């Protein structure tokens, strides 16, 4: 299979710059033109979708304002729904997030298949505002709704052999038509070490902005790991597997020199084709400095004590 290099086209065509101009237009209040400029399915305005009961709200983005709803839900990476930033919101209608089950398998004392709503009712939902950083050097601040993955892992009782946790996206060419093309080896799989998976910052998200997740953001259930590049956060998860050995993961298989297994945000380790030292916060004009571990070093750096982060990128 040909190794696809999406980032070259993405970055040279600078859809990001186009998008920013669109944002400036919005800021100027060019209301009449907005409908024409926004991608179909990404209307300007208020959050939509089923409201969620949130037990508590935690700001873990240093008081920064969340990125507007229409950017969070209109500028996405979800290659199963198309490879441009505006495809996922346009194409998400084919994804049917209910009914939905999640299978828990592998090195765990309580393997089971759970309905996603039953799963979400097992734990109080929290709003967590996180900074999120894509490997393509753009970032957002997103008010996720979810629960710590650690709470679920504790309930499932992994065996002492469990050292990794893998997350698999739905495989279904009708719901995710991008899977008809060999853009990546499907299904999309990402994984964490078990200590990363059970870190209190690691979330299973079911919503954002107080509403059920839109399809383009990974409905009905997706992983959120704020100190890692966005590609670690698998969307539309159907299977969580506990493993003794490190599994293959989609982007690491596709281009191991570009996408490491760890994928911790690191301004000192460049992508082979661009610097990771700075990033563009969507909605802002000037680039800002990228922080080690995306600004969460105080919380997570100790997980990597003794690991050479240049080799283990």
**C-alpha to C-alpha distance for 269 and 266, rounded to whole angstroms:** 6
> What is the smallest separation between the CB atom of 217 and ligand MTE, expressed in angstroms?
4
Residue 233 contact among ligand MTE, Mo ion, none, beta carbon within 5 to 8 Å by kind? ligand MTE
Distance spanning both ends of the chain, measured CA to CA: 25
Map residues 226-265 to x or -, x wherever contact with Mo ion holds by CB under 5 A. ----xx----------------------------------
User: Given the rule CB under 6 A, which residues bind ligand MTE?
Assistant: 76-80, 134, 169, 188, 217-218, 230-231, 233-235
> What is the smallest separation between the CB atom of 77 and Mo ion, expressed in angstroms?
5
Residue 69 contact among ligand MTE, Mo ion, none, beta carbon within 5 to 8 Å by kind? none
Region for 250 from its dihedrals, namely left if φ exceeds 0, alpha if ψ lies in -120 to 50, beta otherwise? alpha
Segment interacting with Mo ion, rule: CB under 5 A, options 134-142, 195-203, 209-217, 282-290: 134-142
> What is the smallest separation between the CB atom of 312 and Mo ion, expressed in angstroms?
19
Q: Is 134 in the site for Mo ion (CB under 5 A)?
A: yes
Judged by beta carbon, residue 76 or residue 252, the one nearer ligand MTE is 76
Judged by beta carbon, residue 147 or residue 209, the one nearer ligand MTE is 209
Judged by beta carbon, residue 107 or residue 276, the one nearer ligand MTE is 276
> Applying CB under 5 A, which residues contact Mo ion?
77, 134-135, 230-231
């Amino acid at each position: 299979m040909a190794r696809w290099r999406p980032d070259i086209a993405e970055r040279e065509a600078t859809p990001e710059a186009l998008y920013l101009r669109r944002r400036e237009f919005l800021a100027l209040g060019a209301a009449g033109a907005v409908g024409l400029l926004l991608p179909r399915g990404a209307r300007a305005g208020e959050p939509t979708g089923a409201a969620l009961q949130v037990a508590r709200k935690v700001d873990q983005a240093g008081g920064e304002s969340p990125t507007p709803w229409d950017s969070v839900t209109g500028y996405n990476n979800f290659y199963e729904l198309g490879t441009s930033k505006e495809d996922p919101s346009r194409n998400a209608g084919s994804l049917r997030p209910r009914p939905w089950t999640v299978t828990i398998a592998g090195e765990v004392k309580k393997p089971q298949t759970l309905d996603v709503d039953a799963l979400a009712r097992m734990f109080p939902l929290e709003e967590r505002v996180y900074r999120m950083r894509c490997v393509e050097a753009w970032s957002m601040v997103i008010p996720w709704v979810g629960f710590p993955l650690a709470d679920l892992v504790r309930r499932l009782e992994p065996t002492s052999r469990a050292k990794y946790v893998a997350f698999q996206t739905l495989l279904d060419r009708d719901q995710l038509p991008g899977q008809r093309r060999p853009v990546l080896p499907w299904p999309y799989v990402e994984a964490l070490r078990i200590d990363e998976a059970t870190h209190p910052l690691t979330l299973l998200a079911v919503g954002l902005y107080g509403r059920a997740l839109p399809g383009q953001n990974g409905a009905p259930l997706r992983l959120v790991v704020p100190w890692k590049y966005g590609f670690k956060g698998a969307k539309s998860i159907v299977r969580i597997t506990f493993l003794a050995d490190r599994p293959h993961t989609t982007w690491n298989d596709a281009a191991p020199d570009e996408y490491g297994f760890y994928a911790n945000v690191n301004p000192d380790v460049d992508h082979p084709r661009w610097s990771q030292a700075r990033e563009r916060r969507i909605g802002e004009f000037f680039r800002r400095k990228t922080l080690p571990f995306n600004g969460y070093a105080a919380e997570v750096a100790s997980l990597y004590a003794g690991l050479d982060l240049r080799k283990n990128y």
